[in-house]
Structure 1
Amino acid sequence: MAGDNRAARPALLAAALALLGALCLLSIAVGSRQIPLDEVVRALTGPRDTEVATIVWDVRLPRTVLGVLAGAALGLAGAVMQGLTRNPLADPGLLGVSAGAAFALMLAVAVAGITSLHGYIWFAFAGAVVAGVAVYVLGGLGRGGQTPVKLALAGIAVTFLLESITRGVSLVDPQVLNRYRFWSSGSLAGQNTALIGQVLPFLAVGAVLALSLAPALNNLALGDDVAASLGRRLRLVRAQGAVAVTLLAGAAVAVAGPIVFVGLVVPHAVRAVSGPDQRWLLPLTALVAPCLLLAADIVGRVAARPQEVDVGVVAAFLGAPFFIALVRRRRLAEL
């Protein structure tokens, strides 16, 4: 079976890339106004002075690009977290990045009085980074430095603390509640290319760090002792992984909100068909995860017309059954 997986991996990569391209075109075509695919192609390749071209370039394309970037970031972050902690239930939220972003957003609205997305996105990103650093520091206290269990427990503790404060403040401040409720539902709508360009460098650095971790994650899967005997510096590997996850998940969450299950579900689905080799698992996840997010966004646009269902809600609806099945598996601890 392993040999079959190795032979099929290039084909899987090509198929995932083709599926992503098809979903990108469909994402641009579907919305409150349906645009035929041939008109989408003409709008992308021709002059931009038509009404269709304006819709495509100013509304649909930024939303689609954000879906691709956020999906790839969340998928990569989830795969790295699962490999880093050897915990099959790990997702980007385990490092506290979502809770940190929400807490900083609350401070931006309640204390600084910032209400625009362009203003509080940087608070959210900074909160995600600070929370990730705090989890990494707390997980390194005591003997033995960072371990998968200590990192997970530190992430849970920081998450619960920040979420309790955020929800407490939002209950007594209606303005914070409205902003928090809108952001926490997870949405790709209403973004523009300028905002995407601002977070793109962080996503790029995080992706490079994550993909370069693949050989080390393969060694870590054999256990800390074996990885150390193979020359891996465990603290450095975990630090690099924490930085990668924080940059990827922090930027994605700050822009699109805390979209759940993408970083949990996709690495498992990819692992089932490609095998556990991180050198293939990570790039495949980076292609398949945005497919799931774009598909969820498309479903959200057509499920309740003329209104839209936020992509975070649809992604949770699609991912919850998989999560339940995953928890019920007997060999849950095996990656």
Structure 2
Amino acid sequence: MIASAKRLTELAHGGGCGCKLAPSVLQSLLADQPMSGVFGQLLVGTETADDAAVWQIDDTTCVIATTDFFMPMVDDPRDFGRIAAANAISDIYAMGGKPIMALAILGMPIATLAPETIREILKGGASICAEAGIPVAGGHSIDAPEPIYGLAVIGLCRPDQVRRNAGARAGDALILTKGIGVGIYSAAIKRGGLPDGAYGEMIASTTLLNRIGQHLSSDEAVHAITDVTGFGLLGHGLEMARGSGLGLQIDATTVPLLKHAATLAEQGFVTGASERNWASYGDAIDLPGDFPDWHRKLLTDPQTSGGLLVACAPDRATAILTEIVDAGYPAARIIGRAVTGEARVIVQG
């Protein structure tokens, strides 16, 4: 018998990419795991904090594999499914690949959620997969205490089109393709403080596929790509800095934000993951002395199905930004540059 209806977000202790383990915790868990470098065909494994694994089949073909799943950050089941699917597929695009199929990952409290609700979650995920032009070819499900949904996704690309987060070069311009503040909005949803119209804005952003990554991978001027998710802009920027052996300078005044993100952050709508992120990597971030705390929390805000952070040749940055905007990412902005020096993120503005 199904219990009385509850909001999806009431059934989960966290939501979206805010559920991710803190970077410091993840690092400690992986510290003694065997390295994957002995497999010559594994072009991308666990050595750097890349978005997906890449296995080279032959001179012209690589397979990209990834998985991503989380608990609900919204109460509408179809929207939850759509966001989770778009977020999982994003890893393929962030590596420069083309997704070809997905497998569903489903954990649901069967005694609590009505079958109709679970079907809507699956329908939402399938609709985004259809938009990406791929099938949900199977999957696995369990009875779980909290609702969990996501995908394992397989993609393809050419070896020369693999784009890692570790390929940035000194002088590269940094482009961010979506506005940040998704975690802030999610916190406001849980506390009933999201302004009118903001929900639609958040759904439009989180269900927008990052397919531009596949296009950018064919441009030799694009040197590195990663998607900005649970560790926030500063966390994923730091991963790019460490992987590339460079510093990243970010102009906070140019970072695109969701419309109400700054106001909500000032009002205290902040996720616990934002604070865990800062505790994990804040010692590798340089902030201006008078930088507002609410603004720092925006830069560590966990993004769910966030945008791509792109490092590209500076003389092509304006043209590449125009391509991104014209492809359907109007919030995209140039937000900084890569510089020679210690692997840190230097925030300006």
**Structure 2 length-normalised TM:** 0.28
**When you count strand as a share of all residues, which structure comes out higher?**
2
**Structure 1 length-normalised TM:** 0.29
The higher radius of gyration belongs to 1
